[in-house]
Structure 1
Amino acid sequence: MTDTADAIIIGTGVIGTATAYEMAKKGWKTLSLDRLSQIGHGSTAGSCAIIRMHYSTFDGTAFAWEGYHYWRDWRDYLGAVAGEALAEFRECGCLVMKTEANGNLDKHLENSRALDIPVEEWDSAKITERLPIYALDRFAPPKRMDQTGFGEPTGGALPGGVFWPLAGYVTDPALSLQNLAAAAKRHGARFRMGVEVAEILRESGRVKGVRLTSGEEIHAPVVVNVAGPGSSH
């Protein structure tokens, strides 16, 4: 008998598991597929897991600002059960230097202020006061390791930076995926690991489902491809 779902989600990284969770909460019967044997063993697990809200586009900034609140209230967002081990969000702040290459962060500041995101401009004296170990030497333009002068200052000093006090990082990105998957399962989401999608099936110009490398077909009217680096294969 052919397996079916309302939506097939290819990939169980942070985008894939979050998609499964949000869709399952809304009543979709989701089936997540991944060629890896365990959830949380892909590129997300090896990421720095930095949670920031400084982006040069307004939409990107708004999206990240919304996401920050989910990470901050992680247990409530997931509806986690008592005693469940959860990844933690550490709110340590993030300092980004102003350079000509990033437009002195003018767009980032504009977007943050438009959304009432806490942000502080620090001049070089403020940076030295708060982070005395920080060197403000310029190293631009970038050089390859085999070029003369690689790693040496090029003269002058950076004028300052921008500090986002609410930024931070997630202590265990792999665990955060396990948390999302557990929350999705509580809403009926299914996961199949160790299976690889070979083809996205179509019928009459519409998505019909997927075919696995084993030859098995799974049918669904919606297929979401969030397989990260493997998305194009």
Structure 2
Amino acid sequence: METECRKGIEMPDTFDAIVIGGGVIGASTAFHLKSLGCPRVLLVERGDICAGGTAKSCAIIRTHYTVQSNSVLALKSLEVFQNFSEVLSDPDADSGFVNSGYIILAADDDIAEHLLESVSTQSSAGVDTYEISPTEALELHPRLNVEDAKVLAYEPNSGYADPYLTTTGFISAGRKLGVEVRPNCTVTGLMMEGQRITGIETTQGPVHAKTVISAVGPWTGNIATWAGLSIPLEVSRHIVLTFRDANPYEATLPIVKDMTTANKMYFRPSSGGVALVGTGDHGEPVYNADELDENVSDDFVLHQGGQMAHRMPSFTNAELVASWTGPYDITPDWNPVLGRVPEVDGLILAYGFSGHGFKLAPMIGKILAQTTLNEACDVDPHPYRLNRFAEGELLTGAYGVGSIS
């Protein structure tokens, strides 16, 4: 089979494929490249592995989407999280996956209608999801207040994972196959001959390759500038809080997605018996992902605390334990860009995950590797092409903009 990973001229620093970015997408891509037979694979990361956006992820694993291709990616990725060490052929690999289940609830409105349609579509496609009654929801999560929830659905196989364990699991498994990993190696430019990629410039010197896969998320604007591209990308700041009640929040309680809230609040158990709380809305636009304001206003904490107290009355007097911020890389339709760039031969982009990339990372890494090797992809990447925006074929979900798509 002819691929782009052919043996080329031997040079001191020459690879068949270079992956830029040491987060979960890059780590998954590098692993899959090597496991599919690419001879020489290099992953470069400007800092430590899993020190960027992945480190801030809430790592929720669900399959609920109204964009069907997302649901397929999520279902296939869930199977990887469930069988992580087996898929990676590494007995030491552990994603930290906890099968807690996932409840999504809505008021009696258009969102509820879309919720029911999505559950029906996903169920017919093989996803284990179904509508539940308020009584059934309370059996699963006794702390909930569901009086204003008119439609509820449940995914029994969903849960959450550990971003660091997942990322380093892919890295370790990839290294055992022969992936070379260079942390603390900053990319400073692309090497090109005309409109063809020939490698990258780094703080450790030039590295040659015919294929470069960019998996740097909110920092993709730099790659686009070096390649002479104009891409749709907005970076926003998102806040995550953890609250502690008088009683420990059980690790096996289901994740809850509250679509009755304007900011599409969600919460899940986290270590130390706390509840981790985030939002799926637009967040605050920022111009530099490296300069996120880590300060969280009292008004935001009070607002989120109030929403939590409504949905779980036992949290009425809960205390704030911690807060952090992280970047979302957002496209106009809140769905990723995956694949080759027609204008630049040898450049493959993966960006715009808009807050829901972690759960898709296992399969995204695989289809990026398959794209690199000119192999048939397990999931068709065509809907995620960069040119869809110019062509007016956006992947906007039924819920509108937001990370749940």
User: Within 2, Cα distance between the matches of 1:4 and 1:77?
Assistant: 29
Structure 1 residue 62 corresponds to structure 2 residue 78? no
The one of 182, 193, 202 equivalent to 1:203 is 193
CA deviation vs aligned residue, 1:149-197 (integer Å, no higher than 9, x gap): xxxxxxxx22021100000011x32022111111111111111111111
Whether the 8 Å CA contact 2:123–2:130 is kept in 1: the answer is no
Letter in 2 for 1:92: S
Unmatched segments (≥5 aa) in structure 2: 1-10, 223-405
Alpha-carbon deviation of 1:129? 4.3
Alignment map for 1:69-218 (pairs within 5 Å): 69-81=79-91, 84=92, 86-99=94-107, 100=109, 102=111, 103-136=113-146, 157-170=148-161, 172-212=162-202, 214=203, 216-218=205-207
Whether the 8 Å CA contact 1:32–1:190 is kept in 2: the answer is yes
Whether the 8 Å CA contact 1:61–1:112 is kept in 2: the answer is yes
Alpha-carbon deviation of 1:132? 3.5
The one of 53, 60, 67 equivalent to 2:63 is 53
Q: What's the secondary structure of 1:89's corresponding residue?
A: coil
CA deviation vs aligned residue, 1:95-127 (integer Å, no higher than 9, x gap): 011243634413421331132111120233432
In structure 1, the partner of 2:220 is 231
In structure 1, the partner of 2:225 is none
In structure 2, the partner of 1:146 is none
Q: What's the secondary structure of 1:88's corresponding residue?
A: coil
Across the two proteins, how many residue pairs are aligned to each other?
209
Q: What's the secondary structure of 1:177's corresponding residue?
A: helix
Equivalent pairs: percent with the same residue?
Answer: 27
Structure with the bigger RCO (C-alpha within 8 Å, sep 6+) is 1
In structure 2, the partner of 1:32 is 43
User: Within 2, Cα distance between the matches of 1:210 and 1:85?
Assistant: 30
In structure 2, the partner of 1:219 is 208
User: Within 2, Cα distance between the matches of 1:158 and 1:107?
Assistant: 17
Unmatched segments (≥5 aa) in structure 1: 138-156
- Across the aligned residues of Structure 1 and Structure 2, the Cα RMSD in angstroms comes to 1.9
Bigger radius of gyration: 1
Whether the 8 Å CA contact 2:101–2:159 is kept in 1: the answer is yes
User: Within 2, Cα distance between the matches of 1:16 and 1:219?
Assistant: 18
User: Within 2, Cα distance between the matches of 1:13 and 1:115?
Assistant: 30
User: Within 2, Cα distance between the matches of 1:80 and 1:54?
Assistant: 29
Letter in 2 for 1:216: G
Give the TM-score taking structure 2 as reference length.
0.49
Letter in 1 for 2:41: T
User: Within 2, Cα distance between the matches of 1:176 and 1:230?
Assistant: 21
